[in-house]
Homo-oligomer: A and B are copies of this chain.
Amino acid sequence: MTITTPKGFRASGVAAGLKASGGADVALVVNDGPDFTAAGVFTGNRVKAAPVLWSQQVLKGRVLRAVVLNSGGANACTGTQGFRDTHATAEHVAAALRGAPKPTLIGAGDVAVCSTGLIGELLPMDRLLPGVTAAVKALTADGGPAAAEAIMTTDTVAKNAVHTSADGWTVGGIAKGAGMLAPALATMLVVVTTDAVAGPDALDAALREATRLTFDRIDADGCMSTNDTVLLLASGASGVQPEQDELTAAVTAVCHDLAQQLIADAEGATKHIAIEVVGAASESDAVMVGREVARNNLVKTALFGNDPNWGRILAAVGVTSAVFEPDRVDVAINGVWVCRGGAAAEDRSKVDLSGRDVRITVHLHEAEMSATIWTTDLSHAYVHENSAYSS
């Protein structure tokens, strides 16, 4: 059910005192092999946190032996000292693993680092490093859920997922992230493991396609984080080498599961909204239209108020450069076609918005391409949570 379900992985989660709450805040994932191939996808934000810059460098070697993650501080916008701290954390992980009763002989360059929390402050290294030592000691073959808990920030539930193939290999994952879920990712940390045999190119292709179709299509508040990281590690411990298509499908299934858990737990959300754009001239048009609707504060507040205000949806479509004619667009909300040909159609009072799940369908009537973007409403709780977060 998690990252330690695939064979060849150990994990742990411990409390190092980074979080004011005293909860678990340092997680460790170790790949015991026999393979150590890996791939990663990172935030598109040009302001990248130190751990992102570090992990991007590490991934150039296409090998990962361990991933250390902390909540309680993003180590973003922290200058050269922040980067030195990330480096020191990776060194500490490697040294502790080398010195463990069952030694793992690795260097800092085999260790990815992920951080999440407030931007702009240095991490308290005097607490983080002892936490890393404790996390190494706590490593177990069923430590996935503990790791998933240790990376939570404003998440209300830990996120785990798994996908098992009929021929004996498995993909598992953990994720955190509840705000800042955005276009190309969000302060979203995701670790996906598999015991399939797969080279780095196969992993990279699988992860990029999975990310494109899942994490890149959830958008809670349109804000792109400085720390987004999605890592995929393969141990090869199953001895089975799947076809590329099978690998991609399994990684996508786990990423989809995690993405839906993320959006379901987005900060202050009262609605889980799917925006399905059909009849588009291209997939990118469909994604563009879906994302614009997903980010429109007037649409999001209307849905919070259970108001099927389709005019705001049309106004959002109208600011895109997608191919469409305003007088040919149809809009359905939860199956009721409130707008046909750009004007009022079925009675909007027929729309039932009392439940948590909302499906908006925008039909552009241009061609056959489609895409779905998932988002949330904009609620009082969102404002409250984000106005009080750092103070």
Residues of A at the B interface (CB closer than 8 Å) are: 44-48, 74, 76-79, 81-82, 118-122, 179-180, 183, 221-226, 295-298, 301-302, 304-307, 309-312, 314-320, 324, 326-327, 339, 341-344, 378-380, 382-384, 386-391
> A306's closest neighbor in chain B, by CB?
B391
Residue from the list B47, B119, B297 in contact with A297, Cβ < 8 A? B297
Q: For residue A341, which residues in chain B have a CB less than 8 angstroms away from its CB?
A: 79
A386-B315 contact, Cβ under 8 Å, with A121-B344, A222-B297: no
Decide if A383 touches B379 in the complex (CB within 8 Å).
yes
A sample of 9 cross-chain residue pairs with beta-carbon separation below 8 angstroms, ordered by A number, consists of A45-B318, A45-B319, A77-B339, A118-B311, A120-B311, A180-B298, A226-B311, A297-B382, A302-B386
Decide if A120 touches B384 in the complex (CB within 8 Å).
no
* 8 closest cross-chain pairs (CB), A and B: A119-B311, A305-B387, A47-B318, A79-B343, A301-B386, A120-B311, A45-B318, A46-B318
Q: For residue A79, which residues in chain B have a CB less than 8 angstroms away from its CB?
A: 327, 341-343
Decide if A226 touches B315 in the complex (CB within 8 Å).
yes
Given contacts A82-B343, A305-B388, A305-B391, 8 further A-B contacts (CB under 8 A): A45-B315, A47-B326, A221-B297, A223-B297, A223-B316, A226-B314, A301-B386, A302-B390
Decide if B386 touches A298 in the complex (CB within 8 Å).
yes
Decide if B119 touches A319 in the complex (CB within 8 Å).
no
Q: For residue A296, which residues in chain B have a CB less than 8 angstroms away from its CB?
A: 222-223
Decide if A120 touches B343 in the complex (CB within 8 Å).
yes
Q: For residue A225, which residues in chain B have a CB less than 8 angstroms away from its CB?
A: 315
State in angstroms the CA–CA spacing of A76 and B119 once bound together: 42
Decide if B383 touches A309 in the complex (CB within 8 Å).
no
Decide if A297 touches B386 in the complex (CB within 8 Å).
yes
How many Å from the CB of A120 to the closest CB on chain B? 4
How many Å from the CB of A140 to the closest CB on chain B? 35
Decide if A307 touches B339 in the complex (CB within 8 Å).
no
Decide if A226 touches B383 in the complex (CB within 8 Å).
no
Most buried by B among A47, A304, A341: A47
> A48's closest neighbor in chain B, by CB?
B326
> A297's closest neighbor in chain B, by CB?
B221
How many Å from the CB of A220 to the closest CB on chain B? 9
State in angstroms the CA–CA spacing of A11 and B29 once bound together: 73
State in angstroms the CA–CA spacing of A45 and B44 once bound together: 27
How many Å from the CB of A321 to the closest CB on chain B? 9
> A349's closest neighbor in chain B, by CB?
B391
> A221's closest neighbor in chain B, by CB?
B297
> A180's closest neighbor in chain B, by CB?
B298
Q: For residue A310, which residues in chain B have a CB less than 8 angstroms away from its CB?
A: 77, 120
Q: For residue A317, which residues in chain B have a CB less than 8 angstroms away from its CB?
A: 47
A224-B319 contact, Cβ under 8 Å, with A327-B79, A383-B301: yes
